[in-house]
């Protein structure tokens, strides 16, 4: 109350600031701080996949009595296909754009960040639209309404994948997390609300797209508003991205193969004799797919830990190494720093493997209860347990790939994705031929890829100085004019 006796309401902005300070104080302690960091890392690393799985579970449980099993199957497959195909087209472009943006922020004061972001959004969305429209036509069973909703959802997901890559490059993690969580709440709530009218699959997909687009708007608006985009700058940014793709063509191809390789074992069954098709024509094999999706959820800790390892140890140590090089150190000082990097990264990788093994063991113990809870078949229990072991091996494979990329070994990364994809295909076909439907194919492929990737990663870390100065030093391999006696004279 004021001095005049007038009742005054508290300042809303001050109240929000106080609440934010209280929340930071609550989560900054030694107990909650690591938990919050881990959850944030999981959202940044694999947020779209995890939340889409949760969303599908909630929607399936809430809407199956309303829409029926066949419609829910089409809805679930449409979302999975949309996220998978959009990642295939967006991941390589988004990754290379994120590298350009990080370099721009570190060395050029953030020049052309908004332009690079805008061009990456357009390229990813355009490629996704072309691919998903082609898939929709090839499927043959999609109605026009469902096909349009499917393409729009895929494009919305591609915008989200690009947002994640760019916001991570800018280290704007809390904006990313807030926007994404709010957008997914709107997507799930809107889908449940719309479907209660029993209006079919298409309105549910549209409402899901609205939530994704809202999250994209929250992430992108501050960057787009703060920049004056014009055609000349956009063309310059497009030229930078095209030049980066040409220079990093092996990395680009390796990312495409990495996205494809994790689906190969499923494709063997989708297009094999046991393959199924939904009412709208989506290929799938539901018993195997559901068991393996649950198995792959067990390696979320690995992705979160790799993200935290990169942010808290790897990148600061690499930056410190380059600062040491600028000071013109002795070879002994460089070798000492390289040995410290080798010890710290290798120790961190094995810690991640140990923690992941504990999570995988917990999932194995709970697998029987999961099968009973979800009314799954007993054969799915065997697939899930083998898949959990395969996922553990894949987590080590992904950690080794992280080390490979940390050492800038794009060629090795590409070779590893070829090995993983090819072994997944060959082992999957042979395992199906010998034992029928099983998860032994992906287990063998994961084991082979895990061992080969560790050899590559260990060798790259051990020979870090040689890689920096010789093997990956582009200046040594630039084309120079051929000098002859004629042009010298």
pLDDT digits (tens, 9 = 90+) for 136-157: 999 887 888 889 999 999 999 9
In the prediction, which pLDDT does 37 show? Answer: 57
Q: 223 and 312 share a domain? A: no
Q: 351 and 218 share a domain? A: no
Name the β-bridge partners of 283: 277
Q: 215 and 315 share a domain? A: no
Select from 481, 383, 395 the least CA-distant residue to 440.
383
Residue 1 pLDDT > 60, yes or no? no
More confident residue, 195 or 73: 73
Mean pLDDT for 421-446 is: 93
More confident residue, 361 or 64: 361
* Model pLDDT for residues 378-415, shown as the tens digit of each residue: 899 999 999 999 999 999 999 999 999 988 889 999 99
486 in a structural domain: no
In the prediction, which pLDDT does 208 show? Answer: 86
Q: 114 and 226 share a domain? A: yes
Q: 212 and 263 share a domain? A: no
Residue whose tokens read 């960091």: 37
Q: What is the mean pLDDT of the chain?
A: 83
In the prediction, which pLDDT does 110 show? Answer: 63
Dihedral of CA 364/368/370/371: which sign? positive
Q: Indicate the residue among 247, 282, 298 that finishes a domain.
A: 247
Q: 212 and 337 share a domain? A: no
Residue 42 pLDDT > 60, yes or no? no
Maximum distance among all alpha carbons in the chain? 99
Give whole-number Cα distances, 262 to 149, 255, 371, 390, in Å: 26, 11, 23, 11
252 in a structural domain: no
- Say if CB 136 and CB 16 are below 8 A apart: no
Instruction: Give 328: exposed, middle or buried? Use CB within 10 Å, 0-12, 13-18, 19+.
Output: exposed
CA distance 270 to 397: 25
CA distance 145 to 177: 32
128 in a structural domain: yes
Residue 227 pLDDT > 60, yes or no? yes
Q: Which domain holds residue 192?
A: 34-247
Question: How many domains does the chain contain in total?
Answer: 2
CA distance 204 to 193: 9
Provide the angle, in degrees to the nearest 10, between the axes of the packed helices 173-195 and 32-67.
20
Structure-block tokens of residue 181: 């969580």
Band of the pLDDT at 2, cuts 50, 70, 90?
very low
Q: 105 and 125 share a domain? A: yes
In the prediction, which pLDDT does 31 show? Answer: 47
Q: 238 and 110 share a domain? A: yes
Torsion of CA 124, 129, 131, 132, to 10 degrees: 130
Name the β-bridge partners of 284: 276
- Say if CB 8 and CB 2 are below 8 A apart: yes
Q: 302 and 167 share a domain? A: no
Q: Indicate the residue among 247, 275, 307 that finishes a domain.
A: 247
Residue whose tokens read 């799954």: 376
Q: 301 and 420 share a domain? A: yes
Q: 56 and 87 share a domain? A: yes
In the prediction, which pLDDT does 321 show? Answer: 85
> At 469, which helix (H) or strand (E)?
none
Beta-sheet strands, E only, within 157-308: 276-277, 283-284
In the prediction, which pLDDT does 21 show? Answer: 55
* Model pLDDT for residues 99-129, shown as the tens digit of each residue: 898 888 877 666 788 889 999 999 999 999 9
Name the β-bridge partners of 276: 284
């Amino acid at each position: 109350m004021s001095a005049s006796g007038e009742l005054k309401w508290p300042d809303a902005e001050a109240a929000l600031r106080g609440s934010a300070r209280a929340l930071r104080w609550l989560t900054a302690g030694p107990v909650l701080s690591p938990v919050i960091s881990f959850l944030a890392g999981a959202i940044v690393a694999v947020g779209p996949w995890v939340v889409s799985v949760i969303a599908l579970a909630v929607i399936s449980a809430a809407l199956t009595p309303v829409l029926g099993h066949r419609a829910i199957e089409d809805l679930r497959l449409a979302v999975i296909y949309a996220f998978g195909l959009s990642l295939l087209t967006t991941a390589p472009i988004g990754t290379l754009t994120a590298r350009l943006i990080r370099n721009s922020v570190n060395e050029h004061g953030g020049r052309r960040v908004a332009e690079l972001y805008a061009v990456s959004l357009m390229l990813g969305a355009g490629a996704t639209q072309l691919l998903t429209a082609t898939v929709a036509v090839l499927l043959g069973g999609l109605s026009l309404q469902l096909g349009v909703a499917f393409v729009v959802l895929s494009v919305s997901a591609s915008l989200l994948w690009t947002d994640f890559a760019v916001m991570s490059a800018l280290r704007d993690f809390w904006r990313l997390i807030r926007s994404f969580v709010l957008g997914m709440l709107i997507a799930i709530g809107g889908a449940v609300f719309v479907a209660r009218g029993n209006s079919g699959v298409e309105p549910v997909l549209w409402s899901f797209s609205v939530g994704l687009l809202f999250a994209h708007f929250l992430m992108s608006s501050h960057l787009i508003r703060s920049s004056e985009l014009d055609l000349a700058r956009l063309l310059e940014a497009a030229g930078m991205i095209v030049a980066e793709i040409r220079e990093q063509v092996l990395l680009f191809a390796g990312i495409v193969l990495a996205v494809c390789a994790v689906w190969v074992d499923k494709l063997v069954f989708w297009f094999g004799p046991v393959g199924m098709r939904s009412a709208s024509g989506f290929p799938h094999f539901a018993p195997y797919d559901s068991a393996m999706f649950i198995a792959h959820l067990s390696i979320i800790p690995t992705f979160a830990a790799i993200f935290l390892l990169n942010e808290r140890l790897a990148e600061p140590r690499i930056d410190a190494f380059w600062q040491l090089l600028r000071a013109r150190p002795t070879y002994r000082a460089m070798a000492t720093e390289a040995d410290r990097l080798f010890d710290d990264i290798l120790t961190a990788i094995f810690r991640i493997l140990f923690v992941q093994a504990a999570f995988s063991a917990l999932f194995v113990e709970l697998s029987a209860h999961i099968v009973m809870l979800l009314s799954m078949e007993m054969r799915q229990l065997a697939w899930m347990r083998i898949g959990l072991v395969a996922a553990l091996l894949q987590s080590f494979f992904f950690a080794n790939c992280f080390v490979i990329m940390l050492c800038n070994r794009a060629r090795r990364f590409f070779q590893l994705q070829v090995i993983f994809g090819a072994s997944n295909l060959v082992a999957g076909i042979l395992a199906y031929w010998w034992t029928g439907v099983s998860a032994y194919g992906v287990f063998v492929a994961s084991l082979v890829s895990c061992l080969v990737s560790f050899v590559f990663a260990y060798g790259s870390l051990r020979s870090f100085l040689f890689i920096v100065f010789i093997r990956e030093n582009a200046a040594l391999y630039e084309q120079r004019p051929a000098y002859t006696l004629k042009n010298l004279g």
